[in-house]
Amino acid sequence: MRKLFLLLTIVGFVSFTSCDSAKSAATSTLASETMDYAGMKDLFNNSPEIQGKVQDQLLNNKSLRNKATSYLKDNPESAAKVAEFMKGNPGAAKGKLMEYVLDNPELTKKAMNWITSNPDILKKALKLIGM
């Protein structure tokens, strides 16, 4: 009888702690929903790990990639370099263009600044990486 009570106590404790940790994990994934723009921007700017994950999403997420490439094509400061790449690589997919952008520090900085200057895009990017 004591062994059964001990076993039930251990099972109850384990299930309680696992529910508590699942609850806290669910809460932390909603950071982009509860954090204000300044907080998201600060988080992004001060974390090279988050910036790296967002750069991965620029390559892998079609919607984010298309918006970023459109911005870079329309931006007078980056349009010439983007046009130069497109001229040298006719018919290149936007994924190849984004690889070129991320290989170029100046263009990468422009793309990342665009993300941080646009609250909706920043929020979307952070959601894509699970923040």
pLDDT tens readout for residues 89-122: 877 776 788 899 999 999 999 999 999 999 999 9
Closest CA to 110 of 101, 97, 121: 101
Sort 58 into a burial class: Cβ within 10 Å, 0-12 / 13-18 / 19+: buried
| Higher-confidence position of 120 and 28 | 120
> Which pTM value belongs to this model?
0.70
Output the average pLDDT for the chain: 82
Alpha-carbon distance 125 to 131, whole Å? 9
